[in-house]
Amino acid sequence: EPEVTQTPSHQVTQMGQEVILRCVPISNHLYFYWYRQILGQKVEFLVSFYNNEISEKSEIFDDQFSVERPDGSNFTLKIRSTKLEDSAMYFCASSKTGTGSFSPLHFGNGTRLTVT
Amino acid sequence: TQLLEQSPQFLSIQEGENLTVYCNSSSVFSSLQWYRQEPGEGPVLLVTVVTGGEVKKLKRLTFQFGDARKDSSLHITAAQPGDTGLYLCAGWGNAGKSTFGDGTTLTVKP
């Protein structure tokens, strides 16, 4: 069964550095998402992406964050200048349609980002 | 901002017992999904409910969507140790943005 893959599985970076988290969504999916889960806390929506542009974003997704689909397969999340509070598990997800009603989210296994 | 409250936050029961997890909101959702998450992995979809009052069954798991589409419940009959995990509800609004509940950590002891 096709799956969403994320790399790296664990990223350690120093405060103030830029990081890029990478995701390969399922090939026939059209909607892409990033979520964040701080250790022991809830899964939080960051951003959804469709047709090469952001369709929705949360208040967490500020100017430090950006997303890109640089080619036909990859979907990236960039954090420009990391802060300690950015430490979390970041999940990429994809779906065929965008409403969630009939098209489930398929999640990757996440990238654990540790900012020191 | 749409909020989803899940209860209980933690649940520890013996094998064979029944349990119910609740997901409540003051907002109306176009659909609601239940996920299960294992440590170190992403959430995996269990079910999607769309219609108010809808009931779906998945083996020993029964999911219900409230008539007003503001709340949902997950009932597990005769829980087994393999049911142990984090259960998450997620509501979808019309804008295509999802909101996750805080999660319920279930431990089923043999």
DSSP symbols for A34-58 = EEEE-TTS-EEEEEEEETTEEEEE-
Please give the single-letter amino acid code of residue B66. Answer: G
User: Would the CA dihedral through A101, A62, A85, A14 be positive or negative?
Assistant: positive
Of all residues in chain B, the one with the smallest CA distance to A93 is B42
> Is 90 exceeded by the pLDDT of residue A89?
yes
A66 touches chain B (CB under 8 A): no
A60 touches chain B (CB under 8 A): no
CB pairs under 8 A between A and B: 71
Q: Name the CA dihedral angle for A47, A51, A55, A57, rounded to a multiple of 10 degrees.
A: 20
A56 and B96 in contact by Cβ < 8 A?
Answer: yes
List the single best residue of B1, B31, B37, B97 to mutate versus A (max A Cβ within 10 A): B97
Fold of A5-115: Immunoglobulin-like (2.60.40)
Please tell me the predicted confidence (pLDDT) of residue B40: 83
CATH no. of B1-58+68-87: 2.60.40.10
Counting Cβ atoms within 10 Å, is residue B31 exposed (0-12), middle (13-18) or buried (19+)?
Answer: buried
Please give the single-letter amino acid code of residue A48. Answer: S
The residue ranges of every structural domain in chain A are 5-115
Residue A66 Cα, gap to closest chain B Cα (Å)? 17
Please tell me the predicted confidence (pLDDT) of residue A102: 63
Residue B85 Cα, gap to closest chain A Cα (Å)? 13
Q: Which of A97-111, B1-15, B23-37 has the lowest mean pLDDT?
A: A97-111
Q: What angle do CA A35, A37, A40 make, to 5 degrees?
A: 165
Q: Which of A71-75, B7-11, B14-18, B102-106 has the lowest mean pLDDT?
A: A71-75
A-chain CB neighbours of B42 within 8 Å are: 4, 91, 93, 107-110
Residue of B22, B85, B100, B106 whose CA lies nearest to A37: B100
A-chain CB neighbours of B97 within 8 Å are: 45, 48, 56, 58
Residue of B99, B84, B98 whose CA lies nearest to B5: B99
Please give the single-letter amino acid code of residue B36. Answer: R
Instruction: Establish whether the linkage from the previous residue to A25 is cis, with ω within 30° of 0.
Output: no
Of all residues in chain B, the one with the smallest CA distance to A91 is B42
Please tell me the predicted confidence (pLDDT) of residue A101: 57
Report whether A28 contacts A50 (CB < 8 A).
no
Please tell me the predicted confidence (pLDDT) of residue B41: 87
The residue ranges of every structural domain in chain B are 1-58+68-87
* DSSP β-bridge partners for residue A17: none
B100 and A44 in contact by Cβ < 8 A?
Answer: yes
A43 and B88 in contact by Cβ < 8 A?
Answer: yes
Of all residues in chain A, the one with the smallest CA distance to B94 is A99
Please tell me the predicted confidence (pLDDT) of residue B52: 93
A101 and B40 in contact by Cβ < 8 A?
Answer: no
